[in-house]
Amino acid sequence: MKTYTIGKSIGRIDAHAKVTGRAEFGADIRLPDLLYLKGVYSQYAHAKLLAVHTQQAENMPGVVCVVTGQDIPGERMIGELFIDQYPLAYDKVRYLGDVIAVVAADTQEQADAAAKLVTADYEPLPVLGSPRVAMESEYLINEEYPGNICGEVHMRKGDVEKGFSESDVVVKTNFRSAYIEHAYLEPESVTVIPSPMRPELTILGSMQAPYNARISLHRTLNVPMSQIILRPSTVGGSFGGKIETAEAMSIRAGLIALKTGRPAQYTLTREESMRESYKRHPIEFEMEIGATKDGTLKSMRIYSISDGGAYTNMSPPVAYKTATLGAGPYRLDNVDVTATAVLTNNNHTGSMRGFGVPQALFALENTLDQLAEKLDMSPTEFKRKNLLKNNDTSPAGHVLDFHEVSVLSLLEKAAAELDFDRKFTQYKQENKDPNRRIRRGVGIAVSMRGVSIGADGNGHDVSRILIEVMQDASVHANLGLVELGQGLRTCQMQMVAEGMGVNVDRVTMGATDTSRSPVTGACIASRGTLLGGGATLDACKRVHAILVEGLQKTYGEDIGPVVFENDRVLFDDHDLSFVEVVKNCYGANLTPMAVGTYSVPITNWDPKKGFGEPFYTYSYSCQAAEVEVDLDVGSVDVIKMVGCHDMGRAINPVLVHGQIYGGLAMAQGMALSEDVGHDSKTGALKNLNFSGYLLPTVLDVPDTNVPILEEHPDPRSAFGGRSIGEPSTEPGAAAITCAVNMALGKPGMIHELPYDLDRVFAAAQELWGEDDVEIS
* Interface ranges with another protein (CB under 8 A): 11-12, 14-25, 27-28, 30, 182-187, 234-239, 269-270, 484-487, 654-655, 657-658, 660-666, 689-691, 695, 697-699, 701, 703, 705
Q: How far is the CB of 285 from another protein (least distance, A)?
A: 26
Residue 15 or 633 having the CB closest to another protein: 15
Residue 2 or 30 having the CB closest to another protein: 30
Q: How far is the CB of 96 from another protein (least distance, A)?
A: 20
| Distance of alpha carbon 667 from alpha carbon 591, whole angstroms | 48
Residue 200 or 700 having the CB closest to another protein: 700
Are 750 and 773 contacting, i.e. CB atoms less than 8 angstroms apart? no
| Distance of alpha carbon 523 from alpha carbon 237, whole angstroms | 13
> Shortest CA distance to 130 belongs to which of 750, 681, 687, 693?
681
Q: How far is the CB of 184 from another protein (least distance, A)?
A: 6
> Shortest CA distance to 766 belongs to which of 748, 742, 743, 749?
749
Residue 160 or 627 having the CB closest to another protein: 627
| Distance of alpha carbon 602 from alpha carbon 717, whole angstroms | 15
Residue 651 or 665 having the CB closest to another protein: 665
Q: Ramachandran region of residue 193, left (φ > 0), alpha (ψ -120 to 50) or beta?
A: beta
Q: How far is the CB of 121 from another protein (least distance, A)?
A: 32
Residue 4 or 661 having the CB closest to another protein: 661
| Distance of alpha carbon 43 from alpha carbon 100, whole angstroms | 9
Look at the alpha carbons of 654, 660, 661, 662 in this order and tell me if their dihedral is positive or negative: positive
Residue 29 or 442 having the CB closest to another protein: 29
Burial of 565 (0-12, 13-18, 19+ CB in 10 A): middle
Burial of 413 (0-12, 13-18, 19+ CB in 10 A): buried
Residue 390 or 704 having the CB closest to another protein: 704
Q: How far is the CB of 499 from another protein (least distance, A)?
A: 24
Residue 223 or 688 having the CB closest to another protein: 688
Q: How far is the CB of 27 from another protein (least distance, A)?
A: 7
Q: Ramachandran region of residue 106, left (φ > 0), alpha (ψ -120 to 50) or beta?
A: alpha
Q: How far is the CB of 334 from another protein (least distance, A)?
A: 38
Q: How far is the CB of 484 from another protein (least distance, A)?
A: 7
Q: How far is the CB of 615 from another protein (least distance, A)?
A: 26
Could you please report the per-residue DSSP string of 182-251? ---SSPPEEEEEE-SSSS-EEEEES-S-HHHHHHHHHHHH---GGGEEEEE-B----TT-SSHHHHHHHH
Element housing 418 (H / E): helix 407-418
Q: How far is the CB of 358 from another protein (least distance, A)?
A: 15
Cβ contacts of 25 within 8 Å, gap of 6 or more: 186, 189, 206, 233, 234, 235, 236
Q: What share of the chain is helix, strand, coil (3-state, %, to 5)?
A: 30, 25, 45
Q: How far is the CB of 625 from another protein (least distance, A)?
A: 13
Cβ contacts of 621 within 8 Å, gap of 6 or more: 407, 410, 446, 447, 448, 449, 643, 644, 645, 646, 727, 728, 730, 731
For the chain, how many helices (H) and strands (E)? 19, 28
Q: How far is the CB of 640 from another protein (least distance, A)?
A: 12
Residue 70 or 269 having the CB closest to another protein: 269
Are 702 and 736 contacting, i.e. CB atoms less than 8 angstroms apart? no
- Helices 420-430 and 732-744: angle between axes, nearest 10 degrees: 30
Q: How far is the CB of 106 from another protein (least distance, A)?
A: 13
Residue 11 or 147 having the CB closest to another protein: 11
Residue 91 or 271 having the CB closest to another protein: 271
| Distance of alpha carbon 343 from alpha carbon 32, whole angstroms | 43
Could you tell me whether strands 635-646 and 706-709 are parallel, antiparallel, or unpaired per DSSP bridges?
parallel
Beta partners for residue 619, in sequence order: 449
404, amino acid identity: E
Q: How far is the CB of 661 from another protein (least distance, A)?
A: 3
Q: How far is the CB of 491 from another protein (least distance, A)?
A: 13
Residue 134 or 493 having the CB closest to another protein: 493
Q: How far is the CB of 398 from another protein (least distance, A)?
A: 32
| Distance of alpha carbon 648 from alpha carbon 398, whole angstroms | 18
> Shortest CA distance to 318 belongs to which of 277, 362, 279?
279
521, amino acid identity: G
Beta partners for residue 463, in sequence order: 598
> Shortest CA distance to 155 belongs to which of 284, 323, 392?
323
| Distance of alpha carbon 614 from alpha carbon 394, whole angstroms | 10
Q: How far is the CB of 674 from another protein (least distance, A)?
A: 11
Are 245 and 276 contacting, i.e. CB atoms less than 8 angstroms apart? yes
Give the number of other CB atoms < 10 A from CB of residue 589. Answer: 8
Residue 8 or 53 having the CB closest to another protein: 8
Residue 325 or 488 having the CB closest to another protein: 488
Residue 84 or 188 having the CB closest to another protein: 188
Residue 163 or 732 having the CB closest to another protein: 732
Are 634 and 757 contacting, i.e. CB atoms less than 8 angstroms apart? yes
